[in-house]
Amino acid sequence: KVIETTIANLNSVNFLESMKLFSKPEIFDHENLLFCTKCKKNQIAQRTTTIYHPPSIFIIHLKRFIRQPNGTYSKDPTHIIFPTDEFVFENSENSEAKKIKYELFGIVNHMGDMSYGHNSAFCRQKGAEWRLFDDTFVLPARPEQVVTSSAYILFYRKVAIF
């Protein structure tokens, strides 16, 4: 399942707030009817998205490239605030696990645009310090350095269920 949140034209977005929006009921009303495959008609409906089987590795791909009306793509530089240590994902009443604690262990960064670019990564082993991997070198990194507007893919591992 892909969690997609539109972030264009904002200075910053809080990742945890976006996760709450992910599971918020979505109403399809007169302006935006949903096609029913049973009756073959557009209907007023409500849809709720839930993660029933939380993954051991939770990978979040941040939508950084926005299609423009002229068909080209531009990079969205919005700064996304995400937890660098642990966060608790709260699931719905019907899922197999109510709360899952995840720990960030990797970040892929993209600098550039759709035509060209460069990738780097921040990674850490469990209980270890952050490292920046950039082409042929590896450097130590501080936790405050890993949250940038170049963050593109986030990797979290499950550390506890309660």
**Using 50, 70 and 90 to split pLDDT, how confident is the model at 7?**
very low
pLDDT digits (tens, 9 = 90+) for 23-65: 778 888 888 888 889 999 999 988 877 777 788 999 998 888 8
* Structure confidence by residue, pLDDT tens digits, 68-127: 888 888 888 888 888 888 888 876 555 565 788 999 999 999 998 888 889 999 999 887
CA distances from 129 to 48, 62, 125, 135, 153 (A): 38, 24, 7, 19, 19
The pTM for the full model equals 0.77
Q: Is 14 helix (H, G, I), strand (E, B) or coil?
A: strand
Burial class (CB within 10 angstroms; exposed 0-12, middle 13-18, buried 19+) of 132: middle
How buried is residue 9: exposed, middle or buried, by Cβ count under 10 Å (0-12/13-18/19+)?
Answer: exposed
Quote the mean pLDDT of the chain: 83
